[in-house]
Amino acid sequence: MEYKFIIANFQYDKHIGLIQLNRPKELNALNLELMLEIKDAIKRMDDDENIRVIIITGNRKAFAAGADIKQMAGKSAIDMLKIDQFTTWDQIRKTKKPLIASVSGFALGGGHELVMLCDMVIASDTAKFGQPEIKIGVMPGAGGTQRLPRAVGKVRAMEMVLTGDFIDAKTAESWGLVNKVVPEELCLSEALKMARKIAEMSPIAVQLAKESVLKAFDQPLQEALYFERKNFYILFSTEDQKEGMKAFVEKRKANFTGD
């Protein structure tokens, strides 16, 4: 698939892929084509044995200012149902490898919902997060009313969803939406630093650990704990577990191969 609205780099760094949303004049507004391209690139990177971590970013002014309002404006309910554009997001949720968002500028509506689908978030001090759908007569439709309260609690989620007000990067950090805030020029390199650290770990352990953490949002505690335990046991069938524990005993750095 040729990409028109994103730039996908499958060898951005050793074991790291980078997807850059690239519709700058429209502040990376998520039209249908752009969303399909993101889904396609993430899936291809997830299937690529060489890639262990995926970074998603935008540009200085915007990560993404939401779904493309101009494309949606004339649609009927049935049109929207038929297009069902945000099933794309469901696919992204199934990504096995860690997704890190590097966010500068606006991350709004569907753009913020994409950030919340990522596993970790590095924000630049210029970043602004919001669910402003209420201001255009609708409401969040791709996870904003569900993932946001789980991340920040009810009253803060209500404020963002019902007033449409944006929050700045520091507030997002203190509310637990963001791992770290850095100066804008360091935003991508900081995400890369985090990605490199994870890419050095056993990729199978990383995959099962991610899967287990996400279970905390989907399942009751006891079932999620069983799930976690089984994943833990499975890892004892990997070469990486043998290598990791041997390296500890021998007081050296482990060399994980993914076997």
- Least distance to ligand DAK, CB of residue 181, Å: 19
How many CB atoms neighbour CB 130 within 10 A?
23
Q: Clarify whether 247 is annotated catalytic.
A: no
Cα-flanking dihedrals φ and ψ of residue 192, to 5°? Answer: -65, -40
**Residue 127 touching ligand DAK (CB under 6 A):** no
Options 4, 14, 60, 70; binder of ligand DAK; rule CB under 6 A: 70
* Options 8-16, 132-140, 205-213, 230-238: segment touching ligand DAK (CB under 6 A): 132-140
Question: Stretches 9-17, 46-54, 92-100, 102-110: which one binds ligand DAK (CB under 6 A)?
Answer: 102-110
182 binds ligand DAK (CB under 6 A): no
Q: Does 110 bind ligand DAK (CB under 6 A)?
A: yes
Smallest gap from residue 7 Cβ to ligand DAK (A): 19
Residues contacting 160, CB < 8 A, separation 6+: 129, 130, 131, 148, 152, 167
Q: Which residue from 122, 115, 128, 126 is spatially nearest to 164, judged by alpha carbons?
A: 128
Q: Does 32 bind ligand DAK (CB under 6 A)?
A: no
For residues 72 to 91, the per-residue mask of contacts with ligand DAK, x marking binding by CB under 6 A and - elsewhere, is: --------x----xx-----
Q: Which is nearer to ligand DAK, 86 or 227 (CB)?
A: 86
Rg (CA), the chain: 19
Our finding on whether 148 is near ligand DAK (CB under 6 A) is no
Binding segment for ligand DAK (CB under 6 A), chosen from 68-76, 169-177, 218-226, 244-252, is 68-76
Report yes or no: 106 and 114 within 8 Å, Cβ to Cβ.
no
Cβ nearer to ligand DAK, comparing 15 with 128: 128
| 32 CB neighbour count, 10 Å cutoff | 14
Whole-number Å distance between alpha carbons of 105 and 123: 9
Q: Does 186 bind ligand DAK (CB under 6 A)?
A: no
Can you spell out the DSSP letters for 67-135?
B-HHHHTT--HHHHHHH-TTHHHHHHHT--S-EEEEE-SEEETHHHHHHHHSSEEEEETT-EEE-GGGG
Q: 149, exposed or middle or buried, with CB in 10 Å at 0-12, 13-18, 19+?
A: middle
Per CB under 6 A, does 65 bind ligand DAK? yes
User: Is 111 noted as a catalytic residue in this protein?
Assistant: no
- 113 has catalytic annotation: yes
Nearest to ligand DAK of 70, 193 (CB atom): 70
Q: Which stretch binds ligand DAK (CB under 6 A): 24-32, 41-49, 188-196, 251-259?
A: 24-32
Closest Cα to residue 138, out of 73, 88, 85? 73
Q: Can you tell me the distance from the alpha carbon of 259 to that of 255, in angstroms, rounded to the nearest whole number?
A: 11
Catalytic machinery residues: 67, 110, 113, 133
Site residues, ligand DAK (CB under 6 A): 26-27, 29, 65-70, 80, 85-86, 106, 108-110, 132-133, 136, 141-142
